């Protein structure tokens, strides 16, 4: 598989796989302005916390490279406004704000070198964020791989594989590394209602990689865990609070509760950039509420419920730290209450 997001350096374009078209079509698209970038992230053409961050960084550079401001002050003003606008597209995924803040900070540090100098620095920073994501996800895989025994069966929810990052992903990175090292690993993937990221994306990328994968409806997780077939659960995260509470795709909390009941280890895999050390607990995490049509009409030929029905459609839920066995990062494996050890290095 190709990278999920990347920079076309010759034309200064954000390139990406449109994930709304998978698995029926693998379509490569480009983006060059902030309005389009907002829409791409909002409608989940680029999705997954790491991919959103990298895509936002590259996309912000692509847009900034076309700014017509001739003065540094005007350019920096346009850049800050663009970053604020793009950041509002997905409020829960902390990697989005992290990457945009890093890009703006780099631009401000280059003040005095002219607009062209700032643009060159932004390009360099976007490329650095891209390269770091590849290395980070690989390291998450290497730290998580020893937790997967040969012949293990893993359950995952949503998509936190290569399609959620540049390569490797987070929750699936240990599986990819384990497979590279000769371990036999099979996966059960929750379909992940209502957007079906598990059915459309996780199954697609695992099957394309030759890893045995079984699709199941979300409400079948308890049933398969009760059989004793599941050795571990690996999931990603869009934001992790300072106390170890983790926000991930809606339905993750239920999986964690069931895993706790059956004594199955529950691992959250995420880069340190996903840890929000300014957020004391999961109660402070803003949960994105999405359009009701995702529940009532998407993936159906016609509306599947009564026209007067109200719809509750949060994009994420928060898994309390006490349900999480460990958090796997590029710096190592930590208990939720050990995250403070890496705070100063984040």
**315 near 290, Cβ under 8 Å?**
yes
Residues facing 281 on adjacent strands: none
Contacts of 345 (CB under 8 A, 6+ apart): 272, 331
Q: What is the DSSP letter of 335?
A: -
Residues facing 326 on adjacent strands: 267
39 catalytically annotated: no
Q: What SS3 state is found at 156?
A: strand
Annotated active-site residue in 133, 238, 245, 276: 238
Widest CA span of the chain, in angstroms? Answer: 66
Tokens of 233: 């659960």
Q: Which helix (H) or strand (E) holds 316?
A: strand 316-319
Comparing C-alpha atoms, which of 152, 181, 175, 313 is closest to residue 236? 175
State the Cα–Cα distance between residues 168 and 172, nearest whole angstrom: 7
Q: What is the DSSP letter of 338?
A: G
Instruction: Give catalytic residue positions.
Output: 238
């Amino acid at each position: 598989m190709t990278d999920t997001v990347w920079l076309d350096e010759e034309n200064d374009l954000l390139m990406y796989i449109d994930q709304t078209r998978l698995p029926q079509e693998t379509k490569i698209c480009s983006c060059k302005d902030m309005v389009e970038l907002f829409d791409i992230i909002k409608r989940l053409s680029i999705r997954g916390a790491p991919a959103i961050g990298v895509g936002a960084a590259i996309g912000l550079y692509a847009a900034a490279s076309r700014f017509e401001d001739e003065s540094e002050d005007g350019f920096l003003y346009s850049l800050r406004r663009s970053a604020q606008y793009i950041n509002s597209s997905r409020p829960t995924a902390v990697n989005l704000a992290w990457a945009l803040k890093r890009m703006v900070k780099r631009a401000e540090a280059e003040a005095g070198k002219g607009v062209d100098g700032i643009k060159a620095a932004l390009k360099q920073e976007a490329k650095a964020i891209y390269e770091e994501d590849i290395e980070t996800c690989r390291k998450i895989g290497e730290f998580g791989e020893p937790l997967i025994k040969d012949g293990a069966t893993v359950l995952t929810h949503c998509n936190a594989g290569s399609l959620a990052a540049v390569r490797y992903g987070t929750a699936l990175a240990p599986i990819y590394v384990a497979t590279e090292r000769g371990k036999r690993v099979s996966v059960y993937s929750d379909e992940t209602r209502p957007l079906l990221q598990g059915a459309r994306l996780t199954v697609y990328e695992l099957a394309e990689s030759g890893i045995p994968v079984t699709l199941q409806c979300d409400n079948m997780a308890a049933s398969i865990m009760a059989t004793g077939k599941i050795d571990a659960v690996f999931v990603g995260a869009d934001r992790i609070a300072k106390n170890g509470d983790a926000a991930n795709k809606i339905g993750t909390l239920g999986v964690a509760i069931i895993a706790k009941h059956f004594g199955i280890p529950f691992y959250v895999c995420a880069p340190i950039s996903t840890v929000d050390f300014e957020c004391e607990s999961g109660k402070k995490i803003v949960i994105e509420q999405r359009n009701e049509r995702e529940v009532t009409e998407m993936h159906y030929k016609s509306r599947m419920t009564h026209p007067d029905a109200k719809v509750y459609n949060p994009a994420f839920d928060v898994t309390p730290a006490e349900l999480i066995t460990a958090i796997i990062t590029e710096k190592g494996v930590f208990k939720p209450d050990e995250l403070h050890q890496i705070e100063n290095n984040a």
